[in-house]
Amino acid sequence: MTNWEKYQQIRREAAYTGLALLVLILFLCWAGFGLSDVEYEIFGLPLWTVTSSIGVWFFAIVLVKLLLRYVFRDMSLDQEEEKEADRHE
């Protein structure tokens, strides 16, 4: 992988991570404020309390799993290691 390809991959990972953060913030707003009028309780707590705390936590875990599966790539950032590998090829 060339340095340019690594740079593009890092940019892609950063962009998708920022997008995931934006989606998480929107979900938090919806789960906290959007459900505040719903009169449903879970374990004696209002629904918005559960969704805006535990629900956001689970949603964040799902987003991270999706990022790891579809966006992030395992690659070496060490240039010395690649130069050594190029010499042997």
Cα pseudo-dihedral 42, 48, 50, 51, rounded to 10:
120
Is residue 85 over pLDDT 80? Answer: no
**pLDDT for residue 78:** 80
pTM of the complete model beyond 0.85: no
Q: What is the mean pLDDT of residues 31-59?
A: 90
CA end-to-end span of the chain: 14
Whether 20 and 59 have beta carbons less than 8 Å apart is answered as no
User: What pLDDT score does 37 carry?
Assistant: 86
